[in-house]
Structure 1
């Protein structure tokens, strides 16, 4: 059994501030570690609760202490044109928030999530003398299909490299991401370990009457749902292009797009140009219990990602009971197996996507079979308790490797100091 640990996590998103799957991952991992008896503190950014009230700067929720960093002036918008300025300002505030937490808590390990907390993570590693573990949830080069289009992307890439260099252990959510990280940052195989995303099955289990109420909003036709950040690499543009191909075979078809992001206006314009306003519905960001209810109501969940390190929301859809159609890309391809745990299609190909959607919507026996097989897979491989145990094993390994390095350095220093001491002794005589 792993000894009790005191863990300092750094994340740029954590409830109530959620942007994508990273925040949900950190929240689920932190609460699973706390439930296992470990002391977990998450340093993160300040935000508002769903009711508009300010979130507490220091509170304990579900056994996890949360220390939030309010923004420093000057204030920067979180957007593509000011991303680096925002990140630098955020890291100053995050470092102070984490150091505040150290006044009342000694930590064993630091766990940083993605490049947006790198400067704080490295500062705390050296200031506190603690081993650093880093989870890389995605990469800038991966998001841009292997190239870095501008100075901001090049800067992000360099910060990602720095984080993997400074970390004692690097965690990747899939075999695809492990390969990508190792190739991009030239890491030794022994430094990177796969620790997948997971899902809280109970949190995504929805009562039939709740599902029926949501389903009623979208009429009697088939309901296809997408949920995720609206960015180019998620492939929502391909889903919209697939709608006219299958709409004639499925009267009353509704495509619900839940999420927000920088690609949203382009997607809305695409819907207007293709005159699909009656079929395609944008809901904005969906969170809390509303997300499981929406997923449970779907006849099919679509995940047409062109780039996908893992695809955590696909697990959430499966847990809610929705059969999944997903692009055969990245980490998705490792658990959405065609005609076993879902249906797959060629990434970036609306015709292939339309064929998979049509098959899922017209073959109820197939839909039920993949739904059942996928649910079994989630319970066997992707619950948070074993994922937390795997993460703890990496904390232990990072601590052990740090101690071994310190011992070697101490031995090297001793070998250097002894001759100098002899010389000083001889000169004194």
Structure 2
């Protein structure tokens, strides 16, 4: 099968969508398919993706040529600008939806409404049930993001009251909720915060106001190599997000041996599975209670973690995608 994958952002840019696109493209090539990638990410110093042709900032004529030769046109994130090109060339189309499409807000709501209408003219893949709820269900398959662990459980004993937060320091990620929850717990609980963002100063100030600054360490941005020992040392990972379409960070924590305490929102219930405790968003009191429960029941929560993680293996996910592509091609 000749697969044209369009991903607005791509390797060597670093991010969730870029990583997923690269993982999938390489998995499809390993299965004997031809994969071309169109992206708006300019070339960097990093090496290209193995066995894939990557077209960076392609012209209109190049896009049309690629589409004419493709068996299936796959968009990683719906693009109202380029989706009509698939209609012009009559190439079977599949759109991967990474985010929900709420209709609130004047400008965003209108654009999301247009995206919902456009999704009726393609097959759709949603990364979670929460994302699928905004799409035509008879044309939508739920396929979770693939996960390849950067590190695993060290097998060493962990401090049962050591907590970890990994994420951007912005309101939607809810680090403030984690801090308020820590303030309601006894002094045995300590928290490592790994991430950077515009709210860092405000969060550090909040930690001082709550009188927990001596129990919270702000590490700033941490690369995967340095994150590994922090994740392996933690007993519980906190994900108090106010919005999370899926939550690959939960799988990373589970692989490292962390039980999860997460907000019951978006795709987090699917990512957390049996390996954690879900609580109502924006409720620091309930979050604190859940942390205490998870600390006391960590072994039980993680008893099925290997089985849970297998559901997200790249080979399993890549094959599920190929099944949808075949359906789109066969009409």
User: 1:306 — aligned with what?
Assistant: 242
Check 1:40–1:359 CA distance in 2 against 1; reply closer, same or farther (3 A cut): same
Choose which of 79, 98, 104 in structure 2 pairs with 1:148: 104
Q: Alpha-carbon deviations, 1:2-35, whole Å to 9, x = none?
A: xxx221222233333224x333322222222222
Contact 1:226–1:301 at 8 Å: present in 2 too?
yes
SS of the residue corresponding to residue 258 of structure 2 reads coil
Q: Which structure has the bigger radius of gyration?
A: 1
For the pair 1:42 / 2:37, whether they are aligned, the reply is: yes
Choose which of 23, 30, 37 in structure 2 pairs with 1:28: 23
Q: Following TM superposition, by how much is the alpha carbon of 1:367 offset from its aligned partner in structure 2, in angstroms?
A: 1.1
For the pair 1:129 / 2:76, whether they are aligned, the reply is: no
User: 2:141 — aligned with what?
Assistant: 193
Check 1:322–1:347 CA distance in 2 against 1; reply closer, same or farther (3 A cut): same
Distance 2:193 2:74 in 1: 35
Aligned residues: 331
User: 1:204 — aligned with what?
Assistant: 151
Q: Following TM superposition, by how much is the alpha carbon of 1:134 offset from its aligned partner in structure 2, in angstroms?
A: 0.7
User: 2:5 — aligned with what?
Assistant: 9
What is the RMSD of the two structures over their aligned residues, measured on CA atoms? 3.2
Distance 1:223 1:387 in 2: 33
Q: Alpha-carbon deviations, 1:226-276, whole Å to 9, x = none?
A: 2234443332221121121125243xx13323254x555554453454454
Contact 1:206–1:293 at 8 Å: present in 2 too?
no
User: 1:66 — aligned with what?
Assistant: 54
Check 1:27–1:400 CA distance in 2 against 1; reply closer, same or farther (3 A cut): same
Contact 1:196–1:387 at 8 Å: present in 2 too?
yes
Q: Alpha-carbon deviations, 1:88-117, whole Å to 9, x = none?
A: xxxxxxx528926947993221211224x3
For the pair 1:398 / 2:328, whether they are aligned, the reply is: yes
Contact 1:173–1:196 at 8 Å: present in 2 too?
yes
Distance 1:287 1:99 in 2: 36
Q: Alpha-carbon deviations, 1:151-174, whole Å to 9, x = none?
A: 3322432343254134x2011122
Check 1:105–1:239 CA distance in 2 against 1; reply closer, same or farther (3 A cut): same
Runs of 5+ unmatched residues, structure 1: 49-53, 70-94, 142-146, 402-429
User: 1:348 — aligned with what?
Assistant: 282
User: 1:321 — aligned with what?
Assistant: 257
Distance 2:27 2:65 in 1: 22
Check 1:23–1:61 CA distance in 2 against 1; reply closer, same or farther (3 A cut): closer
Choose which of 172, 176, 194 in structure 2 pairs with 1:257: 194
Check 1:291–1:108 CA distance in 2 against 1; reply closer, same or farther (3 A cut): farther
Check 1:268–1:161 CA distance in 2 against 1; reply closer, same or farther (3 A cut): farther
Choose which of 227, 246, 251 in structure 1 pairs with 2:185: 246
Check 1:63–1:274 CA distance in 2 against 1; reply closer, same or farther (3 A cut): farther
SS of the residue corresponding to residue 67 of structure 1 reads strand
Distance 2:248 2:160 in 1: 27
User: 2:306 — aligned with what?
Assistant: 375
User: 2:69 — aligned with what?
Assistant: 106
User: 2:270 — aligned with what?
Assistant: 334
Q: Alpha-carbon deviations, 1:311-364, whole Å to 9, x = none?
A: 121112212222211222232223535xx4212222211011111212333x2x
- The 5 A counterparts of 1:387-426 are 387-401=317-331
Contact 2:37–2:54 at 8 Å: present in 1 too?
yes
The one of the two structures with greater contact order (alpha-carbon pairs below 8 A, sep at least 6) is: 2
User: 1:86 — aligned with what?
Assistant: none
Higher helix share: 1
User: 1:279 — aligned with what?
Assistant: 215
